[in-house]
Amino acid sequence: MTLRKSFSTVTHRMVIAPSSYEEIFEAAVRKSQKIAATSLYRNLGYHKKVEIRRIESANRYVVKRLKDIALTTPFLKELHPFYKELLSVLIDIDSLKKSVSRIYRASSIVNKISRECIRKVRQSKDHNSIIKHRRSYFGRLKSILKKLDKDFKVVRKAQLDMLKLPDVRPEIFTVVVAGPPNVGKSSLIRAITKAKPKVREYPFTTKSLTVGHIKVNSTIVQVLDTPGLLDRPLSERNKIELQAILALKHLADLIIFMFDPTETCGFPLSYQKNVLSEVLNSFRNVPFIYVANKVDVASKNHIQRIQEIIGRDFSSNIVLISAKERINLEEVLKLIEKHVKEKE
């Protein structure tokens, strides 16, 4: 499997582990019970054939289910570094590897027990022995599955956590929109992307990830905001949030940092500058575009204060826009195009 496969392609082929071992065992029993005798066990050969078919039916189901769970759970090496980083926070990787390995090995053990019990059924001299060996198979099968119960839970939790991760395309040029809350990040994405942006869950935050796409010449560019992550100083972060921010380093080819000169977002420009400083420090190798939003309601004094508080080095490069009124968005798109060409 290559890194070019999308995360959804990898995760949606997963066979989800059961919440309890009993789910697999009971399903196996039901499958075996569907093989009913067409008549009374008038002879030993017919009885053997029925019980062997019951064991084989249950065994096929269990072995396939165990292998499918193990083999469809993604290996980290299959994933883009962005997802590896996020999963290393969500999941105990070592425990997952061990549990997947035990589940896979158990499929071979179940097969071995099936062969042993079928052989004993064939060698049976009476009806009671046939029943005894069939019951032995199901008893041993239940015991094996019961021992895997903890592993099923470990794998299931990991699989469900994987399904919660945002389905983005790390392999294409990605623009990350950053800035304090309520400065208009999602509004900008909606304004510059043609199709309606998709909303994805993002771990470690109660907010959602807005993902949009634009076409720059023949190149598809992914644009996304950073819910609850790149919107306040890193000093206010816990360890898990910092790891989630680190994951974004594997994704961002360009960062648009947004200011609100009117401060109606609820944060003064001095605070906005602090957020910018820490984001710049965290993404030193990523180019930035600086944008001041809400210019449709901003006064000249608001614009002047950006220069005073943010500093001339930044303010001289700020693009003045209104995402709501679609003012000066072409300038933002031209700058994105410039960075896309430089990356090619």
Domains annotated for the chain, with CATH where assigned, are 7-164 (1.20.120.1190), 174-343 (3.40.50.300)
Q: What is the pTM of this model?
A: 0.78
Spans of the chain, pLDDT less than 50: 1-4, 206
Q: In what order do the strands lie in the sheet with 208-216?
A: 198-201, 208-216, 219-225, 174-178, 254-259, 288-292, 318-320
pLDDT value of residue 94: 92
Helices (H), the chain: 7-11, 21-33, 44-72, 81-90, 93-123, 127-147, 149-164, 185-192, 239-248, 269-282, 300-310, 312-315, 329-343
pLDDT value of residue 232: 67
pLDDT value of residue 180: 86
57-93 exposure pattern, b = at least 16 Cβ within 10 A, e = fewer: bbbebbbebbbbbbeebbeeeebbebbebbbebbbee
Q: How far is CA 188 from CA 169, 194, 224, 299, 328, in A?
A: 20, 12, 10, 20, 11
Cβ neighbours around 117 below 10 Å, total: 24
pLDDT value of residue 199: 61
pLDDT value of residue 8: 76
Query: What's the residue count for the chain?
Result: 344
pLDDT value of residue 4: 45
| Orientation angle between helical segments 21-33 and 127-147, nearest 10 degrees | 160
pLDDT value of residue 206: 46
pLDDT value of residue 245: 75
